[in-house]
Chains A and B, each alone.
Chain A
Amino acid sequence: MVPTEYYVGLSAILFALGSVGVLTRRSAIMLFLSVELMLNAANLAMVAFARGWAASGSKTALDGQTAVFIVLAIAAAEVAVGLGILVAIFRNRVSTNVDELAEVRG
């Protein structure tokens, strides 16, 4: 079996790639895609930790997988609301470029 730390390293790489995407992309849709990548990186780490904690009993070990299940549901809700906001913005501005959406800037 591959040790947990390899999976954690892979998860860190994916999370970093997602954060780089959030920082460098300008289209709001691409920001959302990058956030999804970060969520999935965290999920991978939690599933790997769930296997690493197998020695301390079934309930403790399955906590990780249960948390991933809840994160999946929250991601679904986030995408529904986020894409709704995106469509609403696009209706008014005909653009999803976040550089042009700076009215809230104080």
Chain B
Amino acid sequence: MVGFIILAVILVAGGVGVVLLRQPVHAALSLVATLLALAVTYVTLQAHFLAAIQVIVYAGAILVLFLFVIMLLNVGGETSVDRVTWLKPAAWIAGGITVAGVVAIAFLSRTPLPEAAVVNAALGGGNADRIGEVLFSDYLLAFQLVGVLLMTGVVAAVSLVQRAAPETRPQRGPAARGAPHEPFLGVRHPEEHAGDVAHGSH
């Protein structure tokens, strides 16, 4: 129980940090702390394979992608004023009601946990071979669909980040390809536009 309380404090503190910290980098690092604590929580719930996957995929790949994009776009803290002043208190109250409702239902309908030996026998420590048996028998269709989805995601991400279509850009000679003044991320400065107009006129 002591371990659970420590983990719960880290998880909730990390979640509050994600919601409240102004700088996106700080919020992302706070989420990393939450996800690592969640991996430890998975170990206490006999899901060892998922704990490893959580560290590798979530904290390792997804959050690094987030930090990469935050630093690439150089996103600063939010400065604009609230247009709807009651939104923030209303959101917190709605969140509190959600927590109260779920906790009430969970504690009213509680069932005793099975014996530790039964849990160990059923979950097998949550190892990859036990999860694999279920994944490749009962969930084979879901597994295949996730494969298709990941393939679609790769194609979509590449086509989104691809440079703008050639017909929307001014024609450039082959010599200009890879010129040092390629616009960073496609964001073009006004003087560069002026240069393009002058370039295109002759």
Contact = CB atoms under 8 A, between A and B. Distances in A.
A2 B41 CA distance: 11
Nearest to A86: B69
B179 interface: no
**Chain A at the B interface: SS class:** helix
B178 to A, nearest CB: 19
B149 interface: yes
B122 A6 contact: no
Given A66-B131, A83-B66, A18 B15 contact: yes
Given A19-B98, A59-B138, A76-B61, 17 more contacts: A1-B116, A5-B110, A6-B8, A8-B103, A12-B99, A15-B102, A17-B12, A19-B95, A21-B19, A37-B18, A70-B139, A76-B62, A80-B156, A81-B160, A84-B161, A88-B161, A92-B186
Interface of B: 1, 4, 8, 11-12, 15-16, 18-19, 24, 27-28, 31, 34-35, 38, 41-42, 44-47, 49-50, 53-54, 57-58, 61-62, 65-66, 69-70, 72-73, 75, 78, 80, 83, 87-88, 90-92, 94-96, 98-99, 102-103, 106-107, 110-114, 116, 118-119, 121-124, 126, 130-131, 133-135, 138-139, 142-143, 146, 149-150, 152-154, 156-157, 160-161, 185-187
